Chains A and B, each alone.
Chain A
Amino acid sequence: MALALNTKRGMVTAALVAPAVAWLFIFLVLPFIAMLVFSVGERAPEGGYQPAFTFAQFANLPARSAAFWNTLVLAPVGSLVCLVVAYPVAYYLAVRASPRYRLLLVSLVVVPFWTSLLVRTYAWMYLLGSRGIPHLLDMIGFEDVRILNTPGAVLLGIVYGYLPLMIMPIYVSLEKLDRRLLEASADLGAKPVSTFFSVTLPLSLPGVMTGLALVTILLLGEYLIPQLLGGGKVFFIGNALVDLFLQSRNWPFGSAIAVTLVVVVVFVLLIAMRIAWKIAGTRQVDLV
């Protein structure tokens, strides 16, 4: 970099990169350092932070084990359910849909993003609440069905909200797939199912892994959906953090939880990349 600065081109590059670097440093690196410092500190008597060096906050993590449990189960399960629902849709869009309608159908996948997730999740709140689907079930004889404020409701909300993020990367990798490879497979005697598992699926794995990583990582920090559809009964780490920072003003404990979450995310990413490489048998898979 220092050497590159000597040239005009290097200066231009530096000028173009500088805003992003500054942004990430100020809003990502510095806050993370602050969080690390807070996490080994103590709660001031009136709330907030006072300097100290103790791991007591980390030792106290089990007090929020329910939040960790919900997050670490529902985030991966939610993204796997997303995958199962998204793959056939992406496959249809990329392989089967007539090219004439493909663009229209793909844009329909994105249309929900035009409305705020908050509004759409409120709609689900109503649908799953006592005047929604349970009311209809009640009329046909299934009484006292509770959906809202259960893990199932949160899972449903997650899959609904994050499905497009899973469909798009899978669609892109299936769309790039060379149709002649499928013909070559059939030509060599492979039945359609065999072609799918030997050629289509392995070659769409980069998209699958991208989708899984993207959705899982975003879900680990999810706040809105468990807040609205879990109703304080099914809460994620995100909800615990809001509670700790804004209600009980225990910044050090909140920071310890946040740091732990970051460590978990990095760990999950590394494992995902490992698996992707192993399945694809090459180190050329790029995750994003």
Chain B
Amino acid sequence: MISASTNDIEFRSVSKSYGAVTAVSDINLQVPKGAFVALLGPSGCGKTTCLRMIGGFEQPTTGEVLINGQPMNGVPAYRRPVNMVFQQYALFPHFDVEQNVSYGLRQARPRINAREISRRANEALEMVRLGGFGKRRIHEMSGGQQQRVALARALVNKPSVLLLDEPLAALDKKLRTAMQIELQTLQRELGITFVLVTHDQEEALSMSDLVCVMNAGRIVQLAAPRDVYDHPTDFFVADFVGKTNRIAATVEADGSTLRLADGSALSIPGRSALKPGSAILALRPEAISLHRQNGSASGKFSGIVTHRIFLGSSAEYSIAVEGLGDFLVTADRSDLADGELVEPNERVVLNFDPSAAHIFPA
């Protein structure tokens, strides 16, 4: 079969079960060549199983996985044109850095001569800014350096797809941000398809150009990071990707008025008619504006600040609203009239643009 596929990876109704437990059910996914896709979801959502099925460490129970248009069912890991950066890296402790990186090249048949292997391994180490570290032993390298060795060890084989299993989970926050930028740059320069598995929504949003949100073995949404954040398909996505306020509501018979738990009505303009019945109103913390209650200010809700988390240029407030429960609101200091923080126990009014709200059937 000659491949004219524009997809590097394709899942065709793939399911995977372990005995009675279904890890992944009926996944259909196409990853275009050169894409950076993130499989995002809570633990146990099946994202790692999907990655392992691409790598060849698991076989689908039904359906098939294709790489470069070639069906991969029954093809063992060592015959697949993909390489993986493992969680906690899985570097060989009995080899030095260069031997780790050259491992894949040493497996190649026909054999590559030793000088060429060494040249390519060192080139890969240069690429991840570890030139000159070749003779170090693995345990002498820091976590961030080990991460880059793992990256070099995978990339040296020039795979058509690079799989990354929670690659940044073991790094501290500063290093993680640096590696996010580094990974993104590498991916653009090499033009290799990257498939990243993560439970960290920030990581998925910041690096990938396609986010595949998974829950309970299924794909819930597949879209660009911005679309996932701005237009989540359901409350799970809205809640998992970023923070969100969940407000129980009932859609009135007219299909455009929401009745909230405290009895107030909210009219949602400019939308196709909503299905009458109970619904969830989802509001991002930053979509809500916050004002001190000093007579003149009016808003949709009023409440009392119960907690404040100071974040530097902004702060997160937890606000108790009578009849509706707690609201999470993010406010920049510059948004407040006097540029100061609101103190706990202060009475505030909340406002928001109804068109920024998401309404999902409950």
A46 within 8 A of B: no
Count residues on chain B whose CB falls below 8 Å from chain A CBs: 26
Residue contact A189 to B92, C-beta cutoff 8 Å:
no
Expressed in whole angstroms, the minimum distance between the Cβ of A286 and any Cβ of chain B is 14
Alpha-carbon separation in the docked complex, A282 to B95 (Å): 10
B94 partner, pick from A189, A191, A192, A281, beta carbons under 8 A: A281
Residue contact B104 to A189, C-beta cutoff 8 Å:
yes
Alpha-carbon separation in the docked complex, A36 to B76 (Å): 63
Residue contact A185 to B56, C-beta cutoff 8 Å:
no
Alpha-carbon separation in the docked complex, A282 to B99 (Å): 14
Residue contact B84 to A190, C-beta cutoff 8 Å:
no
Alpha-carbon separation in the docked complex, A186 to B88 (Å): 17
Given contacts A189-B104, A189-B157, contact A184 B78 (CB under 8 A): no
Interface centre among A183, A191, A280 (most CB of B within 10 A): A183
Given contacts A183-B77, A188-B103, A188-B157, contact A203 B93 (CB under 8 A): yes
List the A side residues contacting B94 at CB < 8 Å: 202-203, 280-282
Mark each residue of chain B from 75 to 92: 1 if its CB lies under 8 Å from any CB of chain A, else 0.
Answer: 011110011101110111
Residue contact A180 to B90, C-beta cutoff 8 Å:
yes
Alpha-carbon separation in the docked complex, A190 to B88 (Å): 20
Residue contact B86 to A180, C-beta cutoff 8 Å:
yes
List the B side residues contacting A183 at CB < 8 Å: 55, 57, 77, 84, 86, 90
17 contacts between A and B (CB under 8 A): A180-B86, A180-B87, A180-B90, A181-B90, A183-B57, A183-B77, A183-B86, A183-B90, A186-B76, A187-B57, A187-B86, A187-B154, A189-B107, A190-B103, A191-B78, A192-B78, A281-B94
A144 within 8 A of B: no
List the B side residues contacting A280 at CB < 8 Å: 94
List the A side residues contacting B84 at CB < 8 Å: 183-184, 187
Alpha-carbon separation in the docked complex, A190 to B91 (Å): 15
Task: Name the CB-closest residue of A to B87.
Answer: A180
Chain A 148-189 interface residues, beta-carbon cutoff 8 Å to B: 178, 180-181, 183-189
Q: Which residues of B contact A (CB under 8 A)?
A: 55-57, 76-79, 82-84, 86-88, 90-94, 103-104, 107-108, 137, 153-154, 157
Expressed in whole angstroms, the minimum distance between the Cβ of A262 and any Cβ of chain B is 33
List the A side residues contacting B76 at CB < 8 Å: 186
A54 within 8 A of B: no
A188 partner, pick from B87, B93, B104, beta carbons under 8 A: B104
What 8 A-B pairs come out closest when comparing CB atoms? A188-B104, A189-B107, A180-B90, A186-B77, A184-B90, A186-B78, A190-B107, A187-B84
- How many A-B pairs have beta carbons closer than 8 Å: the answer is 65
Task: Name the CB-closest residue of B to A182.
Answer: B90
A194 within 8 A of B: yes
Alpha-carbon separation in the docked complex, A188 to B91 (Å): 12
List the A side residues contacting B79 at CB < 8 Å: 189
List the A side residues contacting B86 at CB < 8 Å: 180, 183-184, 187
Alpha-carbon separation in the docked complex, A183 to B137 (Å): 21
List the B side residues contacting A181 at CB < 8 Å: 90, 92
Expressed in whole angstroms, the minimum distance between the Cβ of B149 and any Cβ of chain A is 12
Residue contact B78 to A187, C-beta cutoff 8 Å:
yes
Residue contact A188 to B153, C-beta cutoff 8 Å:
yes
Residue contact B107 to A184, C-beta cutoff 8 Å:
no
Residue contact B107 to A194, C-beta cutoff 8 Å:
yes
Alpha-carbon separation in the docked complex, A237 to B362 (Å): 85
Residue contact B83 to A188, C-beta cutoff 8 Å:
yes
List the A side residues contacting B57 at CB < 8 Å: 183, 186-187
List the A side residues contacting B55 at CB < 8 Å: 183, 187
Mark each residue of chain A from 180 to 216: 1 if its CB lies under 8 Å from any CB of chain B, else 0.
Answer: 1101111111111010001100110000000000000
Expressed in whole angstroms, the minimum distance between the Cβ of B193 and any Cβ of chain A is 16
List the A side residues contacting B90 at CB < 8 Å: 178, 180-181, 183-184
Residue contact A189 to B78, C-beta cutoff 8 Å:
yes
List the A side residues contacting B78 at CB < 8 Å: 186-192
Task: Name the CB-closest residue of B to A184.
Answer: B90
Alpha-carbon separation in the docked complex, A189 to B78 (Å): 4
List the A side residues contacting B77 at CB < 8 Å: 183, 186-187
List the B side residues contacting A190 at CB < 8 Å: 78, 103, 107
List the B side residues contacting A281 at CB < 8 Å: 94
Given contacts A189-B107, A194-B107, contact A184 B56 (CB under 8 A): no
List the B side residues contacting A192 at CB < 8 Å: 78
* New contact pairs (5) apart from A180-B90, A189-B157, A281-B94, CB-CB < 8 Å: A183-B77, A184-B84, A185-B92, A187-B82, A198-B103
Mark each residue of chain A from 251 to 288: 1 if its CB lies under 8 Å from any CB of chain B, else 0.
Answer: 00000000000000000000000000000111000000
Interface centre among B83, B94, B104 (most CB of A within 10 A): B94
Expressed in whole angstroms, the minimum distance between the Cβ of B132 and any Cβ of chain A is 20
Expressed in whole angstroms, the minimum distance between the Cβ of B299 and any Cβ of chain A is 54
Task: Name the CB-closest residue of A to B101.
Answer: A188
Alpha-carbon separation in the docked complex, A178 to B87 (Å): 12
Alpha-carbon separation in the docked complex, A181 to B265 (Å): 60
